A and B are shown apart, each in its own frame.
Chain A
Amino acid sequence: MNRKIGLIFLVFFTNITQLLAASLQLKVERTAVSQEDQLVVQVILDGARNAPSPSFPEGQGYTVQYGGVSQQMQIINGRMNSQAVFTFFVSFDRTGSVDLGPATTQLDGKTLTSNTLKIQVLKPSEKPPEETYYFVESQIDKNEAYVGEKVLYVFKFYNRAQIANAELNMPKFDGFWKEELGKQREYRETREGIDWQVTEIRVALFPNGPGQLKIDPAVLGLDAVIRSQRRRGVGSFFDDAFFGSTRTKRVRLTSESFEVRVKGLPVNADVKTNLVGKFEAKAALSKTSQINVGESLTLTVGLSGEGNVWDAKLGKLSLDSVKTYEDKPTVEKAERNGKLWAKKEFKLALVPSRGGEVLVPSMEFPFFNPETQKYEVAKTAPISIVVNGSDGGGEELTIVGSRNRKKQDIQVFGSDLMPPMSGTENVESKAWTQNQVYWMLAFNGLFPMFYGVLFALRRRREKYSHDLTYQKMSKALSQFRRALNKVGADTEDAPERLAKAFIRYLNDRLGENLQGLTTQEVERILPAEKFGSDLIAAVKSTLSKLDACRFGGTELRGEELASIKEELESNVQKIERKAP
């Protein structure tokens, strides 16, 4: 319930306040039109919604046709705004310059009157001038200034087209100290009935010295998307970019250049300053104006206003029995209502060394005020400080519990060595003998050796895991011996098993893959220059014996078996010694 009442009150209250600020405005999209075309005119009623359709004066060389109304309510930044937009189609009866409007309407018994627009009506055969969709403008607030006086430079970009890749080159402002006044501003502006999106950049300039200073033009480059020339006749619907053709054009817009005559400050023998503007000075203490001897307090002197405050300097402040320590001054700048406001603060730590009253005198900052064309002075008010403590060398007050006592050197009456050590803990030397040092060095050498062993192991393992031949080679001997041990006196196919075991050993150990071994193959896999002819002969002999038993059906038993096993073992040992 309360919410409903609140809403009604809000709407009612809004209507009353907006009625007071209601206005009527004519807007067109172009100011030059062919006589055979109709001009779309919008009459905007701001601040109210329910008003009768506006009317235009008759007999002015044009005919008006009502096209409807749209109403809208917007809340912008918490502020409610009502608006009614009346659309008219205007046909012109004659060519030449025609004054359109003013449109009028009645609102709560009051007559609201709009602006008048000058429309250029062209003959049907005449080509309409190219419409302007963007332009730049720059201005300065004065062409003549004193050294250090602020000159305001404003650059504006007016646009009603779709743009991209904008690149702005501002002037260098040679001969000026420049301060940008806040970020760029963007707003809408209606000029001769046409709505423009405006981007504005403001720069405060302070001439460094007298003379004729030139401000170069600002240059703005951009890609503009331009709709092709309008179709003849009425119909904003088909003028939409979706239906109409567009083209992108790289344009370069240049603003005006200016010249500023900079004058030196008027000569005044009594005043020496380079501050120009309007300033005020203030001084304040960080604490109460009563302190104890030896305590410090901060004196802040601030000079603020419009102008080159950063050039201000604080004169020497000498106070009796007070030590002063100057801190680095700070400068603060801000934009206030489109003007550059600046403040410079000087901070001084004051430490009184004697009790009594200390008077911080007024501090003066002379400056030239260009408005009054006179030298003026910004002054701080004098400040009195009461210092508690001794006054002129008397005894200082003793304050019980106070931590602010004066430090003094310790009175030394004598000096001596520290006493002897009576314990037995460090009586015996723990120093290493030379031998112990060598042992320690040797011990340190063990670590790299240990690492070396592990490194070799890893290499071996890597090689083992990747190289099947190597695996076979390393296992060949053990496998052969296992096979040899399995052959006993009661083994029926002992020659077969022994021959196979030996051939497998040779294959594995020498990286071969042979099913049987002929004499030629034995000579090939056991080259004489490496293994020796004796070994080759022995191997051949052993193999022949085994083959004879295998294929001849002779059994190997007892001493014969032991003998041939010994031969095999002997051959293998010789091969192991000579094989890679």
Chain B
Amino acid sequence: MDIIQRHYEALSALKDGDFEKAIKAYKNGIDTSSDLLGGAVHYNLGILHFRNQDLGKAIFHFRHAREQLPRNADVAFNLNYVRKQTTDKIEVQNESFLGKFVTNNYPLTFEESGILTTVLWGTFMICASLRLFKKIPWLSYVQRGLLVGVALSAAATFAIYTKQSDFGVVTSEEANVYSGQSTKSVLLFRLHEGTEFTIKSSEQDWLRLVLADGKTGWMHKKHAIH
């Protein structure tokens, strides 16, 4: 059964209020964190998990939906909405201007940003090639502008790539974070459902995570979706 059929099946179940069935229809043997799912599927899965009282999974899917549909207002609204339901208050520290811009305002997906960079880069090189054979004074200014554009879009593309590559969300009601890969290690802090983090590394059943405020530690994989 292809994804379109499963989409209709899930919508039908959703209409009937059967969220479990709708989620199963979308999953149907596919890892829901897979890149094969489109933005609309992630968005609907976000809604389904939220209705099903799974705040962490809802945030996880809305984030994926936003990565694929960055200009969709409903996605942005729902992501903000579910984030407000979380317990942990984390002050973002030392985030670069580019990082903030990409997180909050950048209107392109990774793919769109990559194409934009390629187009700008190609145009820049074509201008450079033209200048090899003909002196066009204004072309140097165009070239400089293009170079700035290339630098910015390449930086933004890279930032999106790193941001979307490894993130996780706490799915358990409470999750302990330790100093090592064992429950016998020192308990550093405790997180609650819906808290987002960056995954630094993954070893066996443990994730090394970093929070936006810089706190870091090890958490068992069973407490998170990533």
Contact = CB atoms under 8 A, between A and B. Distances in A.
Q: Do A and B come from one complex?
A: yes
Interface of A: 415, 417-433, 437, 440, 443-444, 447-448, 450-451, 454-455, 458
Nearest to B73: A418
B221 interface: no
Contacts of B36: 428-429
Contact of A429 (B37, B117, B126): B37
Given A431-B68, A450-B125, A455-B132, A421 B43 contact: yes
15 contacts: A417-B47, A418-B77, A419-B74, A421-B40, A422-B11, A424-B4, A425-B40, A429-B37, A430-B109, A431-B35, A431-B109, A440-B118, A444-B121, A451-B125, A451-B129
B128 A429 contact: no
Interface in B85-143: 109-111, 114, 117-118, 121-122, 124-126, 128-129, 132-133
Nearest to B133: A458
A423 to B, nearest CB: 7
A447 B122 contact: yes
B81 A447 contact: no
Given A450-B125, A455-B132, A420 B43 contact: yes
B44 A420 contact: yes
B56 interface: no
A422 B39 CA distance: 12
Contact of B128 (A428, A437, A451): A451
Contacts of A428: 3-4, 36, 38
Given A415-B81, A448-B125, A443 B74 contact: no
B41 A458 contact: no
Contacts of B126: 447
B2 to A, nearest CB: 9
A427 B78 contact: no
Interface string B4-16: 1001000100100
Contacts of A455: 132
A430 B128 contact: no
A458 B128 CA distance: 13
Contacts of A447: 121-122, 124-126
Contact of B129 (A429, A443, A454): A454
B69 interface: yes
B110 A432 contact: yes
Contacts of A448: 125
Nearest to B115: A440
Contacts of A451: 125, 128-129, 132
B7 A444 contact: no
A426 B44 contact: no
* In the complex, the 5 A-B pairs of residues with the closest C-beta atoms, listed nearest first: A447-B125, A418-B74, A426-B40, A421-B40, A426-B39
Given A415-B81, A432-B114, 11 more contacts: A417-B77, A417-B78, A418-B78, A426-B38, A426-B39, A426-B68, A427-B3, A427-B41, A430-B68, A431-B109, A443-B118
A444 B118 contact: yes
B80 to A, nearest CB: 10
Nearest to B22: A420
